[in-house]
Amino acid sequence: MTLALPTIFISSFVIALSGALMPGPVLTVTVSESARRGAIAGPLMIFGHGILELLLVFALLAGLAPLLSRDDVFIFISLLGGAILFWMAYSMFKDLPNVRLTFDNDSEKPRNLILAGILLSIANPYWLIWWATIGIGYIMYSVKFGVPGLIAFFLGHILADLAWYSLISFGIAKGRRFFNDGFYRKLIAVCAAFLVIFSCYFFYSGIEKMI
């Protein structure tokens, strides 16, 4: 037990960090909002993301795991998620010529970043598929060590997200003087391109399961 908990925490942190590094809807909005709202944007987004993940952990423990493991559910998540990501990428590319890096906090209606973190996590099929595969396995292992095992797993997982997104927000917010509209458009374009790649991957995964 003494060595198990630190091992669960560290491995959970590393695995979650590998997922956090992958571009997606949450990262895209974090980049945009950090330019407008400052370094607090990332932590607020992850706070909402963490609330949703905590609820999902409880749901998996309560018996949701077998449902998420079903092929028809996987296909539905993959195809719907792929469509959502493709639509987001299309919208970002379409608006790209008009995107500008603005630091005027009053220029737009403030967005509830905690709620955005929840909704954008749901919209990302990678998130559900990760929990339906890797997440379930990790929870089943951690629960062998009782509540402390689950706490070690969840803290490692959410702190990885918080560390990465805080770093992104801080870098965007403090690097304002070095960023211009051209750089910002390129950054958004890269994020949109990754969304297209993920969209194609989820379409492929869903169709492959159907065949």
The per-residue pLDDT for range 86-95, each reduced to its tens digit, is: 887 888 788 8
> Residue 84: inside a domain, yes or no?
no
Nearest to residue 81, comparing CAs of 142, 139, 125?
Answer: 125
Q: What is the pLDDT of residue 34?
A: 85
> Residue 82: inside a domain, yes or no?
no
Query: Does the reported pTM lie above 0.85?
Result: no
Q: What is the pLDDT of residue 196?
A: 85
Q: What is each CA distance from 85 to 27, 28, 105, 202, in whole angstroms?
A: 13, 11, 27, 9
> Residue 114: inside a domain, yes or no?
yes
Number of domains in the chain: 1
Neighbour count for residue 4 (Cβ, 10 Å): 15
179: left (phi over 0), alpha (psi -120 to 50) or beta: beta
Residue with more model confidence, 9 or 136: 9
> Residue 51: inside a domain, yes or no?
yes
pLDDT at residue 108 tops 60? no
